[in-house]
Amino acid sequence: MESQVRGGTRWKRFAVVMVPSVAATAAIGVALAQGALAASFSVSGQSFKVTAKELNGTGFSQYGAVDPGTTLSGEKTAHAVAVSAFDTAYIQKMCQSVVTPSVPFLGDITLRLEAGDSSDQDKQVYAKNLYIDVEDLDADAVFTDINIGVAAGSMKDGYGPGMKGGKEVANPNGFGQEARKAKLTDVKQTAWATTAGTFKLSGLHMSLHKGKGAGVECY
């Protein structure tokens, strides 16, 4: 069965990059581009934007959660998110961006991370046990063998990698859905965190840009 859906740093932290879902130092970014590393990334107190031409995932699951965090000033925060989990995912033409506002003498600075710009799957971004804490998503999606309304805690025995855990606050008896395969195209999303057991970025390019908004950020 298939279902189709249309959905509508301070400066000293500036070596941090986000993917998505990624935030890492430039050195970690290079290591990710060259091989496979476990990765858990977030930008303290900030959301980040992610776009992709196409994402092909297996073992998809999704459930609601609260993502706690800390702002750059040390204040505690909490954000309602939909956690999207994939057992494996290949991502074509991925872009991620995060804005550092009001840098002294420079103004707003946007950090962009781009990778996987190839139709050859072996040269795309690859993730294993991928979790993305999503606040907003716009994409065309096709789900294969979808199961809607399952208890989130039971998904560990289903198609996907199960619930993430850690700092995430989620109700194991709450609403969830899962599918054997998921294909998302023309993806635009805002997220608060990304976690992956393995993350590989082929053709990684990182750059800094003055300003923010369309044409500077990923969208």
Within a domain: residue 108? Answer: yes
pTM: 0.81
Instruction: Tally the domains of the chain.
Output: 1
Question: Is residue 95, in this structure, part of any structural domain at all?
Answer: yes
Q: Which range of residues forms the domain containing residue 13?
A: 2-210
pLDDT of residue 40: 57
The reply to whether 219 falls in a domain is no
Position 178 in a domain: yes
What is the SS3 string spanning the chain? CEEEEEECCCHHHCCCCCCCCCCCCHHHHHHHHHCCEEEEEEECCECEEEEEEEEEEEEEEEEEEEEEEECCCCCEEEEEEEEEEEEEEEEEEEEEEEEEEEECCCEEEEEEEEECCCCCHHHCEEEEEEEEEEEEEEEEEEEEEEEEEEEHHHHHHCCCCCCCCCCCECCCCCEEEEEEEEEEEEEEEEEEEEEEEEEECCCCEEEEEECCCCCCCCC
Q: In the predicted model, what is the mean pLDDT of the chain?
A: 82
- The predicted-structure confidence for 144-200, as pLDDT tens digits, reads as follows 999 999 999 888 888 999 998 877 889 999 999 999 999 999 999 999 988 888 889
Domain-embedded: residue 147: yes
Is the confidence at residue 44, as pLDDT, over 70? Answer: no
Asked whether residue 46 carries a pLDDT value surpassing 90, the answer given is: no
